[in-house]
């Protein structure tokens, strides 16, 4: 293979051209830089003394769950940050004794950290409550919470 001086002179120009092109291509923003983060709370969630919270489900459109800061002992939590912009979080007890009492509803204060991926991101929460009555069997009910029942607080960076 024969190299000429003229062929070698073209390399620096080609390298400079490619370098300038790469400098003009914007770097993708990381998720933390491009979208606002919020905590989710359920203020005023109250249950009776004979009631227990067994499970919850949160559905978020156009948002991802970044973290669940604390998980009660005896609970399992599954997060599905779907690529279809519908995130689902399911939490449930693994043993009956782990159900949350009326004195433990503070778990639902800032219980999820959410990253918004769009201008609006509707949030829907469903809590399953079991009522225990003396002399009869237990009864399950579901409480659906959305909009004014929920509190989103922006996290300052």
In this predicted structure, what is the pLDDT of residue 18? 42
In this predicted structure, what is the pLDDT of residue 9? 53
Q: Could you write out the three-class secondary structure of the chain?
A: CCCCHHHHHHHHHHHHHHHHHHHHCCCCCCHHHHCCEEEEECCCCCCCCCEEEEEEEEEEECEEEEECCCCCCCEEEEEECCCCCEEEEEEEECCHHHCECCCCHHHHCCCEEEEECCCCCCEEEEEEEEECCCCCCCEEEEEEEEHHHCEEEECCC
pLDDT band at 100 (very low <50, low <70, confident <90, very high): very high
| Tens-digit pLDDT profile for residues 32-90 | 445 789 999 999 899 999 999 999 999 999 899 999 999 999 999 999 998 888 999 99
Q: Tokens 């959305």 identify what position?
A: 146
Structure tokens at 51: 């009631």
User: Which residues, 6+ apart, have CB-to-CB distance to 18 below 8 Å?
Assistant: none
The pTM of this model reads 0.74
**Averaged pLDDT of the chain:** 82
Average pLDDT of the segment spanning 8-31: 44
> 140 near 129, Cβ under 8 Å?
yes
Beta-bridge partner residues of 64 = 115
> Would you call 45 exposed, middle or buried from its count of C-beta atoms within 10 A (0-12, 13-18, 19+)?
buried
pLDDT band at 120 (very low <50, low <70, confident <90, very high): confident
Q: What percent of the chain has pLDDT over 70?
A: 78
In this predicted structure, what is the pLDDT of residue 10? 58
């Amino acid at each position: 293979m024969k190299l000429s001086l003229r062929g070698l002179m073209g390399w620096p120009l080609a390298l400079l051209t490619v370098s300038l092109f790469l400098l003009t291509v914007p770097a993708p923003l990381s998720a933390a830089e491009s979208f606002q983060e919020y905590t989710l709370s359920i203020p005023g969630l109250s249950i009776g003394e004979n009631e227990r919270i067994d499970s919850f489900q949160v559905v978020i459109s156009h948002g991802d769950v970044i973290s669940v800061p604390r998980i009660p002992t005896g609970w399992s939590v599954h997060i599905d940050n779907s690529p279809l912009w519908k995130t689902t979080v399911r939490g449930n007890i693994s043993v009956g004794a782990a159900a949350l009492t009326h004195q433990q509803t503070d778990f639902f204060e800032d219980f999820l950290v959410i990253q918004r991926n769009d201008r609006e991101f509707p949030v829907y929460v469903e809590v399953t409550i079991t009522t225990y009555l003396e002399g009869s069997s237990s009864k399950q009910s579901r409480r659906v919470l959305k909009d004014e029942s929920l509190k989103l607080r922006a996290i300052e960076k």
